[in-house]
Structure 1
Amino acid sequence: MWNKNRITDLLGIEYPIWQGPFGGGLSTVELTSTVSNMGGLGGFGAYTLSPQEIYDTDQKIRSKTANPYNLNLWVSDTDYLSQDDTERQYKETVEIFKPYFEKLDIEIPKLSPSFESRFQNQLQTVLDIKPKVFSFMFGLLDPDVIEECHKRGILVAGNATTLDEALALENTGVDFIVASGFESGGHRPSFLDKAEFSTTGTFVLIQLIKDKVKIPVIAAGGIANGTGIAAALTLGAEAAQIGTAFLACEESGAVPVHREALFSDASKNTRLSRAYTGRLGRGITTEILEELSEKSIAHLPFPLQTTFMSPLRKAALEQGKNDMVFFWAGQIAPVLKHRNATILMESLVEETSKILRG
């Protein structure tokens, strides 16, 4: 049976299908619980939440499903170095983006105060609420933390964009490795080298990692249907993590215009950029990205760039100038068909079964 392997056995789920855990308000209790109730592994991205908000979200998810789900955090949630560097970057960033703020007739925001990491406090909450799966991005966890997770019955998944990252993760004692190919929408979770140098495609990355590590690998990036799942499993992955296809569903936290963009011709053209958050991420190409060279785009450290660009995003949405908004999207978006998570899950299972049983 294609849907029975180490991952489904360890998690007690019916299908090796993981829903990508979206950050920035794009994850919802409804989407996470729907996927888990359908036999997959729902995911919730919580890196922007306070410890109390994480606790409350966990309670809401558990009220809607008794099945496992994946809670995701970022080990490194800020790139802030010093006030002097940030002030210099702010002046450069203002010069680059000033024309776009003027086009929307809004004021350029003042420099935000420095951002302090909240990961350690969030981590304690994870240990307290004990989700079945705790996944993390942008770094490594101390082996002692992973051991503590295991003592509490928490299985741990780390994200890798290169073989070296996968090996580093395995050495810390994680249970799973999410192999994140450069086709993925959203942020590139690289941590050993610059994200620009860590752009291996999913189906190559699966094979590289599978050849060297013993723990199960989850394929992520460029998968939105049963054909992609079947291909990933055939190459040695033991599950597929699907992001963009679930982001396009009505149950996600994406604004309606974002979901519509994923089904539009605009989704054929995606680009990796640091312009909107300060970290490299893939989304639908905007007017700003078409006009500016990525090499010349000054930006603030993450997440201060997000704060800087937030008024521009808000004004653009209000004024209907959606070509200035960076909508997260993977390269696979043009093949999307489904707008409902239940129907999408049914389709994924049916298509994969047909291919792998045939």
Structure 2
Amino acid sequence: MPLTTLLGTQLPLIQSPMAGAQGSAMAVAVSNAGGLGSLPAAMLSLDALREELEKIRAQTSRPYNVNFFCHTQPQPDPAREAAWHATLAPYYQELGVDPAQIVAGPGRAAFNAAAADLLQEFRPPVVSFHFGLPAPELLTQVRSWGAKVLVSATTVEEALWLEARGVDAVIAQGLEAGGHRGHFLSHDLTRQMGTFALLPQIVRAVRIPVIAAGGIADAHGVAAAMALGAAGVQAGTAYMLCDEATTSALHRAALQSPAARHTALTSLFTGRPARGISNRLMRELGPLNANAPAFPLATAAIAPLRAKAESQHSGDFSPLWSGQNASACQALPAAEVTRLLAQGF
């Protein structure tokens, strides 16, 4: 089945959900332009999620996607938290931050029954998940209103695992992709592959549609993915400078600078590997630091450093998420970016 038939869209193009860099405006713009706009829900409270879904419902009749994380919330480890605070202590002193004022928080919310109940009121046509699948009863609830289910796979094994559990399509997330890695069967990063190595292997291994993601920022990349058997493409970094994006001024400047040529997977900002533009904190502590608490608990201790530095116009302590190919990232309306990407189909 063609991806456009499965999703009900004009184009086999999905706008990657980018938590912290977009809201409903981006999703609406892409859906109205013929692609599948996505709303990231991992950083939204239930009230905020309802508000965003109401905006989407009011502004488009086209299909759209709502994305959730499926991680297991870890138990806080006091020893590891202490080690993390000790690692960051010199920066607290430098920036005049009182570590006693740090407020613990979840950072990212996993899909749960309350979110499923809220979602059922709006019945989005597509629901996608990162870090595997939710509990079977929650997945059954999502399917109850006919939603199509898309999930990220970073290895062939993950794609096979997802196909066996009945997902409608897999998103082959290559190593180039910006933001959090979607791996869930293994945390061994040596098992991760680039998009154009991973994509054809997953295409050969499964019978469901495969969507290519990672490093695809222009029509040439889209065409290359389709030539390797992709049913469609998911693009994220290409949309980060759009008018509808909520990307900060610091982040926008970094994406348009030579610094964007150097990205790395880092666990410093959330506790889980995610690709972002290399900055001072990543260089000085190493992008993957063993002292960082498990995802998403690392966020709380970094937050006051980020806030203080950003108030001084510095991105030294900010997660500057980006894929490895920001070269085609343009400050254009999302509909125009969608049109440019669509030239590759």
Map Cα deviations across residues 207-252 of structure 1 (whole Å, 9 max, x no partner): 1111011110111101011011111111111110001111221211
Alignment partner of 1:322: what SS?
Answer: coil
Q: Does 1:15 align with 2:11?
A: yes
- Root-mean-square deviation over aligned CA pairs: 2.0
Q: Is the 8 A contact 2:154 2:182 kept in 1?
A: yes
CA distance in 1: counterparts of 2:297 and 2:134, whole angstroms = 24
Instruction: Report the CA distance between 1:292 and its aligned residue.
Output: 2.1
Q: Does 1:306 align with 2:303?
A: no
Within 5 Å, give how 1:283-302 maps onto structure 2. Answer: 283-294=276-287, 296-302=289-295
User: Which of the numbers 234, 238, 241 marks the counterpart of 2:227?
Assistant: 234
What is the letter of the counterpart of residue 345 of structure 1? T
Which deviates more from structure 2 when the two are superposed, residues 107-116 or residues 151-160?
A: 107-116
Which deviates more from structure 2 when the two are superposed, residues 109-118 or residues 265-274?
A: 109-118
Give the TM-score normalised by the residue count of structure 2: 0.93
Q: Does 1:53 align with 2:44?
A: no
Within 5 Å, give how 1:1-358 maps onto structure 2. Answer: 6-23=2-19, 25-76=20-71, 78=73, 80-81=74-75, 83=76, 86-109=77-100, 112-113=103-104, 115=106, 119-120=111-112, 121-194=114-187, 196-294=189-287, 296-350=289-343, 352=344
CA distance in 2: counterparts of 1:142 and 1:94, whole angstroms = 34
C-alpha spacing 1:321/1:252, structure 2 compared with 1 (3 Å): same
Give the TM-score normalised by the residue count of structure 1: 0.90
CA distance in 2: counterparts of 1:298 and 1:62, whole angstroms = 43
**Percentage identity across paired residues of the two chains:** 35
Instruction: Report the CA distance between 1:69 and its aligned residue.
Output: 0.6
Q: Gaps spanning 5+ residues in structure 2: where?
A: none
Greater helix proportion: 1
CA distance in 1: counterparts of 2:309 and 2:102, whole angstroms = 20
CA distance in 2: counterparts of 1:112 and 1:198, whole angstroms = 35
Instruction: Report the CA distance between 1:28 and its aligned residue.
Output: 1.4
Count of matched residue positions in the alignment of Structure 1 and Structure 2: 343
Q: Is the 8 A contact 1:141 1:172 kept in 2?
A: no
Off by >6 Å, runs of 4+ in structure 1: none
Instruction: Report the CA distance between 1:170 and its aligned residue.
Output: 0.7
CA distance in 1: counterparts of 2:10 and 2:312, whole angstroms = 45
What is the letter of the counterpart of residue 225 of structure 1? D
Q: Gaps spanning 5+ residues in structure 1: where?
A: 354-358
Partner of 1:356: none
Alignment partner of 1:299: what SS?
Answer: coil
C-alpha spacing 1:76/1:215, structure 2 compared with 1 (3 Å): same
